[in-house]
Amino acid sequence: MLNGKHIILGITGSIAAYKAAMLCRLLVKEGAEVRVIMTPLAKQFITPLTMATLSKHPILVEFFNPENGEWNSHVSLGEWADMLLIAPATANTLAKMTTGIADNLLLTTYLSARSKVAVAPAMDLDMYAHITTQQNLKTLAQRGVAIIEPGAGELASGLVGKGRMAEPEEIIEQVKAIFAAEKPQSLTGKRYIVTAGATIEPIDPVRYITNHSTGKMGYAIAEELARRGAEVKLISGRTNLPVPQGVKRIDVVTAEDMYNASVREWTEADGGVMCAAVADYTPMYVADRKLKKSDDDLKIELRRTKDIAKELGENKGQRTLVGFALETDNEEANAEGKLQRKNLDFVVLNSLRDKGAGFAGDTNKITIIDSNGREEHPLMSKRDVAAVIVDKIEKVIR
Ligand code: C5P
């Protein structure tokens, strides 16, 4: 049930922190990937070594590593997570969450998180019962934070009452219930293929022809489709990117490999996004030994590769097919040509003339072109561009 879920376990300075060790173990056992963020005080209650060992990753406490200046990005942590689970959550942390105080990594991550958030309060009975804490919990609940109620019983202070953090097994059950209550998403049941990255065309066993594509845009689209519930196959050329969560990656090398994989997977797909930078030409012959240099110039004969988008477009039926166009000149006329020639529903145009658009970077500036005209979008993160493209796909779906 928690298989593959990304969970940030936030631990704050409460005596119940010792239970976070068991909780972490259970989360990992359920198949979740866990990253632990501790508040500075939490380290007094349970050691980073214990939590690092159980979560299988170094724990995070500070905004940056003072030894080498490496930044612990709360924004990427917030994006990575499917759930931020704060257990134990002290009265202090709950109050800061309510008011937006951001004086440690856990709180900045909370403010950046787009994921579900759950808290398991732990404190003495009077602190728990105090009107301030109760109001803070109510406010957090109204904002969508799941409150995992503490139990009643003997507290560390010797007092008996409500305030004891829920037991790890109970927290796991509630975490599962929160995921189970997720609404079906807009693309649940749909199957998409996405091509991404650069292809590699060998010249000999050592050299090859390729291009500057990093695959970032295609990977962001695959991730966005999966986030909306689609089953995604990412047919990927060479990249250094990790496989997005919930996506099945099919690795390919040459344009021909990509063509074969795409044609095969297209039979079972409801749509496709052709984001790869596919080589248009490949060496006519691949030398089986390294080509020796001589004093003469060398000519390599190239032949045309097959156009994947065009082939899928010819067998499209009622399905959705999206192409990309990266141009240096005559952008719009070229993009419109592709729309017709490849039988695409729309073309995403990015011009190398726009600053911040195109290869490598984390931003892109696109114009969407379809048979009704053009929609120009401002410079955005590739993640936001992916959301715009998937919104458009949802509009096109017949
Ligand atoms: O014709 P051009 O290469 O400019 O078109 C770009 C679009 O076509 C992109 O969506 C790209 O992924 C796709 N394409 C393809 N197979 C090729 C060449 C391009 O799918 N061999």
Question: For the domain that residue 126 is a member of, what is the CATH number?
Answer: 3.40.50.1950
Task: Determine whether the shortest distance from the Cβ of 255 to ligand 1 is under 6 A.
Answer: yes
**Judgement on whether residues 166 and 275 belong to the same structural domain of the protein:** no
Tokens of 230: 């689609």
**Judgement on whether residues 219 and 339 belong to the same structural domain of the protein:** yes
Asked which of 180, 201, 223 is the last residue of a domain, the reply is 180
Domain hosting residue 383, numbered range: 191-397
pLDDT of the residue at 333 = 87
- Tell me the whole-structure pTM to 2 decimals: 0.66
Which residue's CA is the closest to the ligand 1 atom numbered 21?
A: 307
Asked which of 180, 199, 231 is the last residue of a domain, the reply is 180
Domain membership of residue 186 (yes or no) is no
Q: How far is the CA of 276 from the centre of ligand 1 (A)?
A: 7
**Judgement on whether residues 72 and 126 belong to the same structural domain of the protein:** yes
More confident site: 162 or 249? 249
CA–CA gap between residue 267 and residue 310 (Å, rounded): 15
Q: How far is the CA of 278 from the centre of ligand 1 (A)?
A: 6
**Judgement on whether residues 197 and 157 belong to the same structural domain of the protein:** no
Q: What are 99-111's pLDDT values in tens digits?
A: 999 999 999 999 9
Domain membership of residue 84 (yes or no) is yes
Instruction: Write the CB contacts of 163 (distance below 8 Å, at least 6 apart in sequence).
Output: 121, 122, 123, 124, 125, 127, 128, 129, 150, 155
Task: Determine whether the shortest distance from the Cβ of 305 to ligand 1 is under 6 A.
Answer: yes
Give me the residue label for tokens 């796991």: 172
**Residue 150 burial (CB < 10 Å; 0-12/13-18/19+)?**
buried
Q: What are 306-356's pLDDT values in tens digits?
A: 999 999 999 999 999 999 998 878 888 888 999 999 999 999 998 777 777
CA–CA gap between residue 43 and residue 134 (Å, rounded): 26
Which residue's CA is the closest to the ligand 1 atom numbered 4?
A: 325
| C-alpha closest to that of 8 among 104, 109, 148, 99 | 109
**Judgement on whether residues 216 and 144 belong to the same structural domain of the protein:** no
Domain membership of residue 213 (yes or no) is yes
Angle at 163 between CA 158 and CA 164, to 5 degrees: 75
State how beta strands 367-370 and 346-351 pair.
Answer: antiparallel
φ and ψ at 83, to 5 degrees? -150, 140
Amino acid at site 67 = E
Handedness of CA 93, 97, 102, 107 (dihedral sign): positive
**Judgement on whether residues 166 and 200 belong to the same structural domain of the protein:** no
Ligand 1 atom closest to 305 (CA):
21
Q: How far is the CA of 305 from the centre of ligand 1 (A)?
A: 10
Question: pLDDT confidence of 357, banded at 50, 70, 90?
Answer: low
52 to 59, 60, 169, 304: CA distances (angstroms): 5, 9, 20, 52
Percent of the chain with pLDDT over 70: 98
Beta bridge partners of 121: 89
Residues acting as catalytic residues: 211
**Judgement on whether residues 164 and 228 belong to the same structural domain of the protein:** no
**Judgement on whether residues 161 and 272 belong to the same structural domain of the protein:** no
Domain membership of residue 78 (yes or no) is yes
Beta bridge partners of 38: 11
**Judgement on whether residues 245 and 383 belong to the same structural domain of the protein:** yes
Task: Determine whether the shortest distance from the Cβ of 324 to ligand 1 is under 6 A.
Answer: yes
Query: Which range (3-7, 35-39, 120-124) has the least confidence?
Result: 3-7
User: Does residue 153 carry a pLDDT above 70?
Assistant: yes
89 to 27, 235, 395: CA distances (angstroms): 17, 42, 42
Which residue's CA is the closest to the ligand 1 atom numbered 13?
A: 309
